[in-house]
Structure 1
Amino acid sequence: MINRVWTAFRRAAGLVAVGVCLWALVAGGPARAVEPVEGPTLTIGITQFPGNFHPAIDAMMAKKYILSLTRRPLTAYDADWHLVCLLCEELPTLENGGARLEDIPPEESGLGDGKGMAVTYTLKAGARWGDGIPVSTRDVVFAWQVGRHPDSGITNGELYRRIRAVEVHDGRTFTLHLDRVSFKYNALNDFKVLPAHIERVRFEADPARYRTLSAYERTTEAPGLYFGPYRVERVTPGVSVSLVRNETWWGKPPVFGRIVVKAIENTSALEANLLSGSIDMIAGELGLTIDQALALERRHGDRFQFLYRPGLVYEHLDARLDDPILRDVRVRQALMYGLDRELITGQLFEGRQPVAHGPVSPLDPMYAAEGVPHYQYDPARAKVLLEDAGWHADPSGVRRNADGEPLRLTLATTAGNRIRELVQQVLQSQWRTIGVEVRIDNQPPRVLFGQGLSRRTFQGLALFAWISSPDNVPRTTLHSAMIPSADNGWAGQNYTGFANPEMDRLIDALEVELDPAARAALWRDLQALYAERLPALPLYFRANTHVLPRWLEGVRPTGHQDPTTLWVEDWRIGPGGPLDGSGGGLLDGSGGDP
């Protein structure tokens, strides 16, 4: 839909001279043709294509992976899981004076206690948009205004609404006045700075339609939208995104002249493209499953390097809780007892991907090792729960309710992902033994994430992964205020529709608790409540596998939601690389169609 609108706009602008002038004025100039660039081209394969290109609307790793080549967040977690500044000069803390507690009017306090915080940041010196305009506090204020607007559709609008005011000191320094005390007061990973000189006129024209009016959708190739090491050169919808060095980048120059990210949604085809030289590497964030990577390494370990990083990738089943079958917690609990997840991880992943007992990984510091219920494989108990819920087995073994309706669920996942489709078949088979029928309804990732989940049109169960940051409070996925709807512009990621007052209370309390011991107790209670109520069905934690050419150096997998591309300027070409005279499948960047 978005790409069709974008194409139509391009055609209209080519026919109407006034449209061309307006486009150049508002979007920072027309899209550039593919031109020769200095330096080699790196071609990366991923399994999904972005549903859109606006950095703050819809959360999708494919988009974040690509846009991290073109932007820098104010803060991010690095490969060592430390919070660091990327667009700011220094991380503000209570200890260094960059952050302070402040008393505020109770009516302006998010918790009504009259307590808030003031946190001061200074933007990196020399940061400029791709059209040469400095990245400034004007862009910060505009992004805040967009993010807090109820009709804008910004995914994590809650982050912006918690900022009472933005105090501007000069073109680079600003103070955020927060409406509460929070232990993550200086983590602005999700604050997306936007180019006010391009986007303001589009946003103010119609905030409710900003999602489709944004220059990120209408003129994705405009250089002024980007301020990272690369800018988007060309988008081939559903196929690839070509990026070239950003002439206005202020940091360390990246080594590659052009980077092409290709979306190959079938993982078997992704592997074939790697072996044929059509792509040079497979991103671990959206690439091969661990079983495929292990098999590939056994066959071609001499050709590629394989980096395995366990992390915070939570593979699970979101349950549509307003579904008449799934709204009964006894049914959800029965589904958990009917799954032999140890068998799944043992046979499919050689035990390298641990069973998940909830959304918090054992690698995360807030994981509760005790006091949280675990679901072991117990089909007999599953059957008892289903009987109690009014689902009785007929002579054929199919369970039906008092009206004779069968216990039948729809299960969707990302089409073409071989391991997820295999997991689906296992789930279907195991649940059949307890009398539950499962109908498979898979969709392309851009459809599942862009419509099925974000607009809550999916039915039954959806199999996908959440990728989080360390110590991440799950407000957007579990708080009742984060259920996407037309009323809130489809903001939020609580796709299940989970609304539980106790969960809301725990999330609210967690965010403002500064004492580590008290916070650990809250985390334990949250994980126990999650296990009891099961808004989603936990499966396993995924290990990402990065498959790289042997000559590529400097790639450091993070294991969380901040992708390796945030540090692309540190990637280097080692012995045997294209600058050594051996291309390894790389294009020379001399133009043409990458």
Structure 2
Amino acid sequence: MRKQRYSGLIWLGLLSLFLILSACSSGSANKETAASPPTTPEANASSEPAEQGTEAHLLEEPFAATDLNKLPDRAKQRNDAIIVTLVNPSGAFTPYFTQVGYDGNVNSVLYTPLVRVDTDGLPVPGLAEKWEISEDKLTYTYHLREGLKYSDGSPMTTEDVEFTWTLLHDPSYDGINSVVEAKIKGGQAYKDGKADSIEGIQIIDERTISVTLEETNATALTVLGGPILSKAYYGKDYQFGNLDYIKNLHANPITNGPYKLEKFIPGQEVRFVVNEHYALGKPETEYFIYKTTEGDTWQFIETGEVDYGSFSATTDNIEKLKALGFLNLIPSTASNYGYNQFNLERDPLKDKRVRQALTYGLNRQLIYVDSRQGAASIANIPSSPILWSYTEEDINPYPYDPEKAKQLLDEAGWTVGADGIREKEGVKLRINYLGSKSPNTDIFIAVAKENYQELGVDFVPEQFPDFNTLVSKVNSGDYDMASFSTTIISDPSQGVERFIKGETKGYDNPRIEELYAQGLATGDVEERKAIYHEMFKILNDELPIMFTNYTNSVIAINGRIDGFELNPLAGIAYSLPGWNLQ
């Protein structure tokens, strides 16, 4: 790996800032900073390749609390509730209709899917006790558990499954829709208004349902085995071509997960209470709360206001967390990646040479690795190192190289003007950057400003304390570059789906579309690996987004809590029903 170049001016100016921020949280627990629909990621972390020399910084094994007598009084007095921090959700608490990723964290507590994903990424029973897949891999038959009920006591049957799949084929549904992309036989005919029902969906009895696809799909089992909506509640006002009514039901969901919603106070908390009808057994703890007030996760953990936090896995953080005495610590590697989203509808950014220059010309090593004491590594493809699809073969690492960046900008026709800013046909090369208000963003801005000034790029940053406002600004199109991270990626198709069907505005590559389809058409892992590797090489070259980083986290959890099981592919909801206060 090429040795990274450093700016002495930046380093001296930021050294004290790094020392202070190294002890800061990398973000709220359960953080989902994504402009795409959620799964349910909590720990925003990833493993560090050995050659980066960061293994000494990592907590390699779980660390047990050493002195529960140090537990703050506030936490000692809490005997029937567990509290976790979360960035404020929008309140769209209906699966498939979420507005921001944080809604997904809430929904993962409220709903249990038909098929869950275990810690190895393999499907395991959820509300479906078993399933069969036909020999041609086109027909999936799900068997529901006996006696399933919703939070209002009403029965859950295969009619609800049929309703959910059908609802997502309504022409007025405007979300990203993996169920439709699974291509259920007759689904398009229903969507086009040419059929009253979907041919491929067959209810066998109240607990057994089959679905037949038009073509094989490697992710179909879990995609179709997602959360299920109550037909009696969400379907009572359904009319073909009009789903607006569902917005009125977001705040009062009828659910089938371990907890049900008690109340949502925006900017304060999302409070859940045990769902006494939960099929997989009554949760051990009566209440679960997402604390959504803004604040320092360190303070919340130290004072006992919250029981769980996710922190950047720096040496300083780990030592400080250990010193508190009352926390269990678990190293975490999450399967997401960070990225800077380019606005490809802006003329300068339509040229991949400009996008490549902005990547070569940004000291990502300093921003994402060194400033975080090695608790991160550089990302160059849309796949985390913990996934079987990850590769570095034939992948350009885009090392910090200002001269290469300048060369690319010269080739693209951007010449340095009298004021030091590049211009082309009378237009200045300006990058309006949007980011969340956080210590890590402060570092990014400080480094990027100097890096891009050296290239002759006018870098104009703007920070937002509220994630929803940031997303709104991005959706308006009034930006050039914005920082995000993906939600949990349990299958490589999820890491690349943003690059197909116009999901990334301004990017359209037929070969990517073709490879995406091929990757879903086979269940052979080696075949899929070769397909995604080709896709990664294309995306690594064209850079429709700037890949930034994978992060390593350490989960800190109140030592009184028993039953926590880390599942980076499914989030805390996977083991939440078994959490209990000792």
TM range (shorter): 0.7 to 0.9
TM-score, structure 1 normalization:
0.77
CA separation of 1:238/1:159 partners in 2, compared to 1, >3 Å: closer, same or farther?
A: farther
The answer to whether the Cα contact below 8 Å between 2:85 and 2:297 also exists between their aligned partners in 1 is yes
Q: Tell whether 2:479 aligns with 1:459.
A: yes
Structure 2 Cα separation of the partners of residues 221 and 58 of structure 1: 14
Structure 2 Cα separation of the partners of residues 134 and 296 of structure 1: 50
* TM-superposition CA deviations, 1:47-88 (whole Å, max 9, x none): 342452221124744222222222101223222332212121
The answer to whether the Cα contact below 8 Å between 1:221 and 1:233 also exists between their aligned partners in 2 is no
| Residue matched to 2:203 | 168
Structure 1 Cα separation of the partners of residues 347 and 307 of structure 2: 47
| Residue matched to 2:252 | 221
Q: Tell whether 2:84 aligns with 1:44.
A: yes
Letter in 2 for 1:413: G
State percent identity of aligned pairs: 21
Shift of 1:299: 7.2
Shift of 1:279: 2.2
Shift of 1:154: 3.2
Shift of 1:388: 1.4
| Residue matched to 2:20 | none
The answer to whether the Cα contact below 8 Å between 2:302 and 2:324 also exists between their aligned partners in 1 is no
| Residue matched to 2:33 | none
Q: Tell whether 2:438 aligns with 1:412.
A: no
1:253 aligns with one of 260, 276, 282: 282
The answer to whether the Cα contact below 8 Å between 2:91 and 2:103 also exists between their aligned partners in 1 is yes
CA separation of 1:101/1:336 partners in 2, compared to 1, >3 Å: closer, same or farther?
A: same
The answer to whether the Cα contact below 8 Å between 2:343 and 2:477 also exists between their aligned partners in 1 is no
* TM-superposition CA deviations, 1:16-72 (whole Å, max 9, x none): xxxxxxxxxxxxxxxxxxxxxx96111211234245222112474422222222210
List aligned pairs for 1:444-455, cutoff 5 A: 444-449=466-471, 451-452=472-473, 455=475
TM-score, structure 2 normalization:
0.79
| Residue matched to 2:129 | 89
* TM-superposition CA deviations, 1:255-290 (whole Å, max 9, x none): 211111111445xx23222222322322x3xxx444
1:191 aligns with one of 217, 222, 226: 226
Structure 2 Cα separation of the partners of residues 553 and 54 of structure 1: 29
Structure 1 Cα separation of the partners of residues 559 and 439 of structure 2: 26
Structure 1 Cα separation of the partners of residues 179 and 495 of structure 2: 9
Letter in 1 for 2:121: W
| Residue matched to 1:570 | 578
The answer to whether the Cα contact below 8 Å between 1:557 and 1:564 also exists between their aligned partners in 2 is yes
* TM-superposition CA deviations, 1:307-333 (whole Å, max 9, x none): 221121201111111112211111100
Task: Pick which of 540-549 and 353-362 moved more.
Answer: 540-549
The answer to whether the Cα contact below 8 Å between 2:340 and 2:482 also exists between their aligned partners in 1 is yes
The answer to whether the Cα contact below 8 Å between 1:128 and 1:250 also exists between their aligned partners in 2 is yes
List aligned pairs for 1:478-517, cutoff 5 A: 478-481=498-501, 483=502, 494-517=503-526
* TM-superposition CA deviations, 1:446-474 (whole Å, max 9, x none): 2334x345x46352111011123333314
Q: Tell whether 2:82 aligns with 1:74.
A: no
| Residue matched to 2:69 | none
CA separation of 1:233/1:476 partners in 2, compared to 1, >3 Å: closer, same or farther?
A: farther
1:277 aligns with one of 304, 309, 323: 304
Structure 1 Cα separation of the partners of residues 215 and 271 of structure 2: 42
Q: SS state of the match for residue 42, structure 1?
A: strand
Task: Pick which of 182-191 and 541-550 moved more.
Answer: 182-191
The structure with higher relative contact order (CA 8 Å, sep 6+) is: 2
Structure 2 Cα separation of the partners of residues 304 and 70 of structure 1: 27
Structure 2 Cα separation of the partners of residues 514 and 322 of structure 1: 36
Shift of 1:190: 7.0
List aligned pairs for 1:535-550, cutoff 5 A: 535-550=544-559
The answer to whether the Cα contact below 8 Å between 1:414 and 1:445 also exists between their aligned partners in 2 is yes
Q: Tell whether 2:173 aligns with 1:152.
A: yes
| Residue matched to 1:241 | 270
Q: Tell whether 2:512 aligns with 1:477.
A: no
| Residue matched to 2:386 | 363
CA separation of 1:136/1:452 partners in 2, compared to 1, >3 Å: closer, same or farther?
A: farther
The answer to whether the Cα contact below 8 Å between 1:156 and 1:476 also exists between their aligned partners in 2 is no
Structure 2 Cα separation of the partners of residues 258 and 63 of structure 1: 19
Letter in 1 for 2:210: T
The answer to whether the Cα contact below 8 Å between 1:368 and 1:523 also exists between their aligned partners in 2 is no
Give the paired residue count. 490
CA separation of 1:554/1:541 partners in 2, compared to 1, >3 Å: closer, same or farther?
A: same
Shift of 1:559: 2.2
Q: Tell whether 2:133 aligns with 1:99.
A: yes
CA separation of 1:72/1:274 partners in 2, compared to 1, >3 Å: closer, same or farther?
A: same
List aligned pairs for 1:101-180, cutoff 5 A: 101-102=135-136, 117-157=138-178, 159=180, 162-164=183-185, 165-180=200-215
List aligned pairs for 1:513-592, cutoff 5 A: 513-560=522-569, 562-574=570-582
* TM-superposition CA deviations, 1:402-451 (whole Å, max 9, x none): 21x22111111233x332343233223322221112222233112334x3
The answer to whether the Cα contact below 8 Å between 1:341 and 1:539 also exists between their aligned partners in 2 is yes
Structure 2 Cα separation of the partners of residues 293 and 135 of structure 1: 49
* TM-superposition CA deviations, 1:164-202 (whole Å, max 9, x none): 221101111101111211223322377331111111133
Structure 1 Cα separation of the partners of residues 574 and 473 of structure 2: 28
CA separation of 1:502/1:290 partners in 2, compared to 1, >3 Å: closer, same or farther?
A: same
